[in-house]
Amino acid sequence: MSWLVTGGAGYIGAHVVRAMTEGGERVVVYDDLSTGSADRVPADVPLVVGSVLDAALLEQTIRDHAVTGVVHIAGKKQVGESVERPLHYYRENVTGLQTLLEAMTATGVTRIVFSSSAAVYGMPDVDVVTEDTPCVPMSPYGETKLAGEWLIGAAARAHGIRAASLRYFNVAGASAPELADSGAFNLIPMVFERLEAGEAPRIFGDDYATPDGTCVRDYIHVQDIASAHLAAARRLSEAPEGTALTLNIGRGEGSSVRQMVDRILKVTENEHMTPEVTARRPGDPARVVASADRIREELGWVARHDLDEMIESAWQGWRHHHA
């Protein structure tokens, strides 16, 4: 198989590209470099610079590289920005996917692995989130991911496409410092940012109905996310037409914000600092922890990396990007 990896110059995409090439798959990266960087693409992997909104370039690339499957990772991912710019998010994430599916059907490509998100669930009122937990996204970002899953499901039924929508939980860590996420949109880099400024980390609310009162999340190492893509791609290579899988990617283990902050303070040798507790942020669910049963049953995949590996590698990456 030969795979087109959209968004392969981004944080998660760069890890997926490495897992797939190391697994013996042929890969071509397609990325508009809006948030990604060409440096993240290995020298022996072709990079086509273009947008998933460009139908002609997509079809050309698929033909030029004899592509037989797509891993669609490209997308805009900031929840807050999606509230301010919903039309932009719908265009990039939904129209972009629609354009890609049109290019696939025009060229006879029938396999797609899609980057979805736990944001599709919104504020789930359950201890463990299964793929059957109702989806009630709380932001335009989450809506675009759910709409993407629907679009893929309809195309699978109508056009014989084989698909896997992967709902990532809280992604963290890096396989090498230069591949780390350079933004600060999640807890771990937000804490690093405060520490670097000499400020105590912030905890938004400690009055949730959780064991220590702070929000609980399921953190997953980006290398585990990457290995799940390779497993999904291999599964789709063999799958019958119309197969449409929806799978959580998490560890199935909850960690509270306070536990995470304490571990980050330890790893960064800032144990003398005391976190500052402030008011809740609007829209933060108390607990979002994945059931990882279905992906284990369907793909035989399990997460292999623990919290310390995530925090330590994220810290090396942070220092690399911000030194």
Ligand X SMILES: NC(=O)c1ccc[n+]([C@@H]2O[C@H](COP(=O)([O-])OP(=O)(O)OC[C@H]3O[C@@H](n4cnc5c(N)ncnc54)[C@H](O)[C@@H]3O)[C@@H](O)[C@H]2O)c1
Interface ranges with ligand X (CB under 6 A): 6-7, 9-13, 31-36, 51-53, 73-75, 77, 92, 96, 115, 117, 168, 171, 181
Output the smallest distance, CB 215 to ligand X, in A: 15
- By beta-carbon proximity to ligand X, the closer residue of 79 and 267 is 79
Instruction: Kindly state the tokens that stand for 164.
Output: 């896997």
CA 179 – CA 174 distance, rounded (Å): 6
Output the smallest distance, CB 5 to ligand X, in A: 10
Has 141 been annotated as catalytic? yes
The DSSP symbol for 29 reads E
Is the separation of the CB atoms in 314 and 192 below 8 Å?
yes
Output the smallest distance, CB 118 to ligand X, in A: 7
Instruction: Kindly state the tokens that stand for 123.
Output: 């504020």
Q: Is 7 left (phi over 0), alpha (psi -120 to 50) or beta?
A: left
- By beta-carbon proximity to ligand X, the closer residue of 151 and 200 is 151
- SS3 category, 44: coil
Is the separation of the CB atoms in 89 and 141 below 8 Å?
yes
What DSSP element (H or E) covers 167? strand 162-168
Output the smallest distance, CB 271 to ligand X, in A: 27
- By beta-carbon proximity to ligand X, the closer residue of 107 and 270 is 107
Active-site entry in 89, 141, 168, 208: 141
- By beta-carbon proximity to ligand X, the closer residue of 148 and 211 is 148
Active site (catalytic) residues: 141
